[in-house]
Amino acid sequence: MNIAIALQGLATFSWLLVVGVIALAVVRASRARPIKGVSTMVIVLIILAVVLSTVSAGLVFIQPDERGVVVSAVQSKGYRDVPLQPGLRWVIPFAENVRLYSISRQTYTMSVATTEGDVLGDDSIRARTKDGQEVFIDASVIFAIDPDKVVTLHIDWQDRFQDEVVRPLSRGIVRDLASQYGVEEIVSTKRIELELSITQELEKKFAENDLIMVDFVLRDIHFSEEYAVAVEQKQIAEQTALQAQFVVQQKKQEAEQARQIAQGQADSVVIQAKGAAEARLIQAEAEAKSLEIISTILQDNPDLLTYQYITKLAPEIQVMLLPNDSPFLFPLPEIPTP
Rounded-to-integer distance, Cα 47 and Cα 255, Å? 108
Q: Are 51 and 79 in contact, with CB atoms under 8 Å apart?
A: no
Q: Which residue in 200, 117, 203 sits closest to 163, CA to CA? A: 117
Domain 106-223 indexed as CATH 1.10.1020.10? no
Q: Would you call 104 exposed, middle or buried from its count of C-beta atoms within 10 A (0-12, 13-18, 19+)?
A: exposed
Distance CA(135)–CA(100), nearest Å, equals 39
Helix then strand then coil, in percent of the chain rounded to 5, is: 55, 15, 25
* Three-class secondary structure of residue 322 per DSSP: coil
The rounded distance, in Å, linking the Cα atoms of 9 and 53 is 9
Q: Is 227 helix (H, G, I), strand (E, B) or coil?
A: helix
Distance between CA 173 and CA 170 in Å, rounded?
5
Q: Round to whole Å and give the CA distance between 4 and 62.
A: 10
Residues 301 and 308: their CA atoms lie apart, in Å, by 12
217, β-bridge pairs: 140
Q: What is the pLDDT along the chain (338 residues), one digit of tens a residue?
A: 577 788 788 888 888 888 887 887 777 777 766 666 677 787 888 888 888 888 888 889 999 999 999 999 888 889 999 999 999 899 998 899 999 999 999 999 999 888 888 888 888 999 988 888 888 999 999 999 999 999 999 999 999 999 999 999 999 999 999 999 988 888 888 899 999 999 999 999 999 999 999 999 999 888 877 666 666 566 656 666 777 677 778 778 887 887 788 787 877 777 887 877 787 878 877 777 777 777 777 677 766 666 666 666 656 666 555 555 555 555 555 545 55
Instruction: Compute the distance between CA of residue 222 and CA of residue 299 in angstroms, rounded to an integer.
Output: 109
Q: Between β-strands 106-110 and 125-128, what pairing exists: parallel, antiparallel or unpaired?
A: unpaired
CATH 3.30.479.30 in the chain, residue ranges: 106-223
Distances (CA, A) of 215 to 112, 149, 202, 288, 315: 20, 19, 9, 99, 119
Beta strands (DSSP E) in the chain are 59-62, 66-72, 87-90, 96-102, 106-110, 125-128, 134-145, 211-223
d(CA 191, CA 171): 17
pTM across the whole model = 0.61
